[in-house]
Amino acid sequence: MTTTYLVTGGAGFIGSNFIQYLLETKEDIRVINVDALTYAGNLENLGQVESDPRYRFVKANICDASAIEQVMSGFQIDYLVNFAAESHVNRSIAEPITFVDSNVVGTATLLQTAKAAWQDEAGNYREGVCFLQVSTDEVYGTLSPQRPAELFSETTPLSPHSPYAATKASADLLVRAFGDTYRFPYNITRCSNNYGPYQLPEKLIPLMISHCLEGRQLPVYGDGRQIRDWLYVRDHCIAIDCVLEQGRRGEIYNIGGRNERTNLSVVKQIIRAFRDRLGFAVSDDLIEHVQDRPGHDVRYGIDPRKIELELGWRPRISFDEGLEATIDWYIAHPLWLEHAESRLEQGPRGMKEASHSA
Ligand SMILES: NC(=O)c1ccc[n+]([C@@H]2O[C@H](COP(=O)([O-])OP(=O)(O)OC[C@H]3O[C@@H](n4cnc5c(N)ncnc54)[C@H](O)[C@@H]3O)[C@@H](O)[C@H]2O)c1
**81-120 confidence digits (pLDDT tens):** 999 999 999 999 999 999 999 999 999 999 999 999 999 9
- Residue in 70, 60, 57, 72 with CA at minimum distance from that of residue 106: 60
Alpha helices by DSSP H, the chain? 13-25, 65-74, 89-94, 96-99, 106-118, 163-182, 204-214, 233-246, 263-272, 305-311, 319-332, 334-346
Question: Residues 51, 27: contact at Cβ < 8 Å?
Answer: no
> Residue 102 CA: which ligand 1 atom is closest?
31
- Whether 35 lines ligand 1, by a CB cut-off of 6 Å, is yes
pLDDT, position 203: 95
pTM of the complete model: 0.96
Pocket test for ligand 1, best of 6, 7, 13 (most atoms within 8 A of CB): 13
pLDDT confidence bin for 348, thresholds 50/70/90: low
Dist CA 220 CA 355 (whole Å): 8
| Total number of residues shown for the chain | 358
Dist CA 353 CA 207 (whole Å): 10
pLDDT, position 358: 66
- Whether 82 lines ligand 1, by a CB cut-off of 6 Å, is no
Task: Give the residue, by CA position, lying nearest to ligand 1 atom 44.
Answer: 136
- Whether 15 lines ligand 1, by a CB cut-off of 6 Å, is yes
Task: Give the residue, by CA position, lying nearest to ligand 1 atom 18.
Answer: 12
- Whether 41 lines ligand 1, by a CB cut-off of 6 Å, is yes
Please, what is the Cα angle at 141 between 137 and 143, to 5 degrees? 95
**CA–centroid distance, residue 86 to ligand 1 (Å):** 6
Active site residue 138: yes
Please, what is the Cα angle at 270 between 267 and 271, to 5 degrees? 90
Cα→Cα distances 22→50, 234, 257, Å: 13, 11, 21
Average pLDDT over residues 128-151: 96
Q: What is the CATH number of domain 3-200+230-259+301-318?
A: 3.40.50.720
Q: Which of 55, 79, 164, 232 is catalytic?
A: 164
pLDDT digits (tens, 9 = 90+) for 226-274: 999 999 999 999 999 999 999 999 999 999 999 999 999 999 999 999 9
- Whether 92 lines ligand 1, by a CB cut-off of 6 Å, is no
pLDDT digits (tens, 9 = 90+) for 182-236: 999 999 999 999 999 999 999 999 999 999 999 999 999 999 999 999 999 999 9
- Whether 36 lines ligand 1, by a CB cut-off of 6 Å, is yes
Pocket test for ligand 1, best of 37, 44, 64, 87 (most atoms within 8 A of CB): 87
Q: In what order do the strands lie in the sheet with 55-59?
A: 55-59, 29-35, 3-8, 79-82, 130-136, 186-191, 251-255
Question: Residues 57, 35: contact at Cβ < 8 Å?
Answer: yes
Radius of gyration of the chain (CA): 20
pLDDT, position 345: 84
Dist CA 150 CA 231 (whole Å): 19
The domains of the chain are located at 3-200+230-259+301-318
Residues 6+ apart with CB under 8 A from 149: none
The C-alpha torsion from 228 through 234 and 235 to 239, rounded to 10°, is: 120
**CA–centroid distance, residue 300 to ligand 1 (Å):** 19
Q: Which of 35, 78, 86, 138 is catalytic?
A: 138
**CA–centroid distance, residue 137 to ligand 1 (Å):** 14
Strand partners for 288: 219
pLDDT digits (tens, 9 = 90+) for 127-137: 999 999 999 99
Q: Which of 35, 137, 229, 297 is catalytic?
A: 137
pLDDT digits (tens, 9 = 90+) for 27-83: 999 999 999 999 999 999 999 999 999 999 999 999 999 999 999 999 999 999 999
pLDDT, position 350: 44
Phi-psi region of 258 (alpha: psi -120 to 50; beta: other; left: phi over 0): left
State the DSSP code for 31.
E
| 3-class state of residue 218 by DSSP | strand
Dist CA 103 CA 81 (whole Å): 14
Which amino acid appears at position 189 of this protein? T
pLDDT, position 61: 98
Pocket test for ligand 1, best of 14, 34, 86 (most atoms within 8 A of CB): 14
Please determine, for residue 355, whether its predicted confidence score (pLDDT) is greater than 80.
Answer: no
Other Cβ atoms within 10 Å of 214 Cβ, number: 10
Pocket test for ligand 1, best of 83, 172, 266 (most atoms within 8 A of CB): 83
**CA–centroid distance, residue 101 to ligand 1 (Å):** 13
The C-alpha torsion from 248 through 253 and 259 to 260, rounded to 10°, is: -160
> Residue 101 CA: which ligand 1 atom is closest?
31
